[in-house]
Amino acid sequence: MHDTKLTLLEKGLALLLEHGYNDVGIQTLLNEAGVPRGSFYHHFESKEDFALQVVDLYMDRVHEALRACTEDRSRPPLDRVRGFFELTKDQYRQDGYLGCMLGGLGQELSGVNEAFRARIEACLDTIGACLASCLEEARQAGDLPPDSDAGEMADLLVDCWEGAALRSRLRRSGEPLEAMLDFYFGRIQAAV
């Protein structure tokens, strides 16, 4: 990827995470990135196109974390699933506990913008599908009740995480994230 484009996307990711979509002007982005306006429109059709590509960059990082955790066959499958969220929590801490950009843009834009609604839903769905395959492995290994629906359990995990991420953003703390993970993993295992 072109350096200028990557600079804009990375600066955009930080700005969108903190400010949301409508509060960020292209001029602010250009000032912070030290890039002229013409370059922006060379790489992006519009602010919406830009923000959707920021979502792609965010998802590249999510996929990297998912791969690092879920493909580590040395750990039991439930540990791998929790490991992904522990890694994500660490990222949130580094960001200053601003929560999840997918949740932020999903909340702000999905009432009025179908492109964002569909894209954010697809992102969460993708994350859930990846986690579901680990949960299914756990079920087959006898770590979850035999009648567990791995897909439903993964959706639920993603949804509860997003709520904990919001609370983490409101409190600027990792505590809601940890509490949610302790509850979820404690209760699914306790039900074995």
The residues that touch its own copies, with contacts defined as CB under 8 A, are 17-23, 98-99, 103-104, 106-112, 117, 120-121, 124, 152, 155-156, 158-167, 169-171, 176, 179-180, 183, 187-188, 190-191
CB 18, min distance to its own copies, A = 4
Report the alpha-carbon distance of residue 115 to residue 84 in Å, rounded: 27
> What type of residue is 129?
A
Q: Which is nearer to its own copies, 79 or 108 (CB)?
A: 108
Q: Which is nearer to its own copies, 1 or 115 (CB)?
A: 115
CB 119, min distance to its own copies, A = 10
Report the alpha-carbon distance of residue 87 to residue 85 in Å, rounded: 5
Report the alpha-carbon distance of residue 71 to residue 35 in Å, rounded: 39
Of 99, 97, 108, nearest to 24 by C-alpha is 108
Which tokens is 70 given? 């879920």
Q: Which is nearer to its own copies, 12 or 103 (CB)?
A: 103
CB 3, min distance to its own copies, A = 27
178 near 89, Cβ under 8 Å? yes
CB 62, min distance to its own copies, A = 16
Q: Which is nearer to its own copies, 4 or 26 (CB)?
A: 26
For residue 81, the tally of other CB atoms under 10 A from its CB is: 29
